[in-house]
Amino acid sequence: MKQTTRTIWDDAIKEYKDYGFRIEYPEDFLLVLYFKDKKIATFYRDQITPEILRKGCENYLKSIKGEY
């Protein structure tokens, strides 16, 4: 089940991976979104959706004004 969950989250940001986004899973209940080596958000897995993750990537790219 854990692998299936990871696939959902990884698939959610697949279009952003080339920009430098990645996800780590430090605990069974946490998901951490990174941009390159910078941690930009931590989520509880039971409170996150793929749409929220994608929006987080979009908003972060807008906030850095394309400086990636």
Give the whole-angstrom CA distance, residue 4 versus residue 53. Answer: 17
CA 63 to chain centre: 16
* Residue-range definition of the domain harbouring residue 41: 2-63
Q: How many CB atoms lie within 10 A of CB 57?
A: 21
Q: How many domains does the chain have?
A: 1
Question: Residue 22 pairs with which residues in a beta bridge?
Answer: 34
* Domain contains 36: yes
pLDDT digits (tens, 9 = 90+) for 8-64: 999 999 999 999 999 999 988 999 999 999 999 999 989 999 999 999 999 999 999
The total number of residues written for the chain in this structure? 68
Annotate 27-44 with b (16+ C-beta within 10 A) or e (fewer): eeeebebebeeeebbebe
* Domain contains 38: yes
pLDDT digits (tens, 9 = 90+) for 8-23: 999 999 999 999 999 9
| Residue 3, pLDDT score | 56
